[in-house]
Amino acid sequence: MLKIVHYPHPILKRPSKPLRRVDDDLRAMVREMFDLMYKAKGIGLAANQVDLPLRLFVVNTEGNPEKGQELVFINPVISRPRGTAEAEEGCLSIPSVYGLVKRPKEVDVQAYDLQGNEITASLSGMMARVVQHELDHLDGTLFVERMSEAGKMTVDPELDEFRWEFQNLRSTGGIPADAELAAKWEEWEAKYC
C-alpha cells in the first residue's frame, strides 16, 4: 500500500531511474497514485512522492476523477522552454506550504503512457506548470528550492517543523534508516529499470 511521503524524506532528493518495463503491478500502483492524489486534493503526483524511485508521474489538472483527463507520463523529457510566468505552487509532500515560483510559461513534453504510446505535446498554462513541477520531483528538486531567497525565508520555519517531525518518526522507527531505504529502492530499480 502506497502513501505520500513528506519532506525531508530522502527519496525526494534522489533522481529517479528511467522505466524499461510496465506490468500489471505497476499499473495497479499508478491507479493507487491517482487515488492518493485525489484524496489529498492534488493535481499531480510523482512516483518518488510515494517512495518509488521510478521515472513517472500522474496528472489530472481538475483534481477530480469525474472531471479532467487522467494522464500518466513515463520517462518524461521537456524541451523548448518559452516565456516566463510566476505563480503560487504547493506540494503534496510539503502540505500546507505554498510559495511563488517562476517557470517557463510554455514547454514541449515527450513521454510514454502505460501502453507504451509516445506522448508529445506543447504545453502552456497550468498543465505546463504541473508537468515541470512533477518532472522536478523526478530529478530530486522541490518547488521550495525554486523560490526566491525572500520566499525561502518565509517558508523555512514550516520546513523546520517537517524536519523535526521526520527526525522524530525516524528515531521511533516510523521511517527506516537510509541504508534500508536504499536497498528497497534498488529492488524496485532492478525490477523496472
Identify whether 89 is a catalytic site residue: no
Backbone angles phi, psi at 124, to 5 degrees: -145, 175
In the set 134, 165, 186, 189, the catalytic residue is: 134
Backbone angles phi, psi at 161, to 5 degrees: -65, -40
Q: What angle do CA 164, 167, 171 make, to 5 degrees?
A: 140
Half-sphere exposure of 154 (CA within 13 A, CB side): 10
Distance CA 31, CA 50 (A): 12
Q: Which three cell numbers stand for residue 165?
A: 517531525
Contact 138, 48 (CB under 8 A): yes
Contact 50, 3 (CB under 8 A): yes
Active site residues: 134
